[in-house]
């Protein structure tokens, strides 16, 4: 059966592995097993080749979204730390803490964005941040 798997899938074919309920990229064979690698890279795994099949478009999409989410979370910034003795920083950090307690991720992110903007505007030299200015795009039409 391993011989037929070699003929059935070319290296790099995206397949669905029901044994692990995962989508992976076919790498070849390792003894009696098919060798798969997660989309986006990572540790390869061995699986019995009999049940492998080409991944559906939906399975490929879900796997790609998982990869993008993983990369996004790996590169996400740490939450900003309020500057000591700054009432505005304390207020914005309080908003973030309240949102976190309510498990409102959107409001928590909003508070982090506002705190970063405040820090860039008022504490840039202290925190070693580059100052920036919001400049309206003259070519943009009215909303």
| Residue 54, phi-psi category: left (phi > 0), alpha (psi -120 to 50), beta (remainder) | beta
Q: Give residue 2's pLDDT.
A: 46
- Give CA–CA dist 44/66, Å, rounded: 17
Q: pTM of whole model > 0.75?
A: no
For helices 105-122 and 87-101, angle between their N-to-C axes, nearest 10 degrees? 170
Res 89 pLDDT > 60? yes
Task: Give the confidence band of 124 by pLDDT, cuts at 50, 70, 90.
Answer: confident
- CATH code that applies to domain 2-60: 2.30.30
Q: Give residue 132's pLDDT.
A: 47
Res 45 pLDDT > 60? yes
Res 141 pLDDT > 70? no
CA 60 to chain centre: 16
User: Where along the chain do the CATH 2.30.30 domains lie?
Assistant: 2-60
């Amino acid at each position: 059966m391993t011989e037929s798997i070699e003929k059935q899938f070319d290296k790099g074919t995206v397949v669905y592995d029901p044994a692990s309920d995962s989508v992976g990229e076919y790498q070849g064979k390792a003894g009696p097993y098919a060798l798969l690698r997660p989309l986006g890279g990572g540790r390869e795994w061995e699986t019995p080749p009999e049940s492998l099949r080409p991944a559906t478009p939906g399975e490929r999409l879900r796997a790609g979204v998982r990869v993008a989410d993983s990369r996004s979370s790996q590169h996400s910034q740490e939450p900003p730390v309020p500057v000591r003795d700054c009432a505005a920083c304390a207020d914005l950090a309080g908003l973030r803490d309240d949102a976190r307690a309510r498990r409102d991720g959107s409001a928590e992110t909003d508070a982090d964005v506002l705190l970063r903007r405040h820090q860039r505007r008022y504490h840039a030299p202290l925190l070693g941040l580059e100052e920036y200015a919001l400049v309206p795009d003259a070519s943009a039409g009215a909303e």
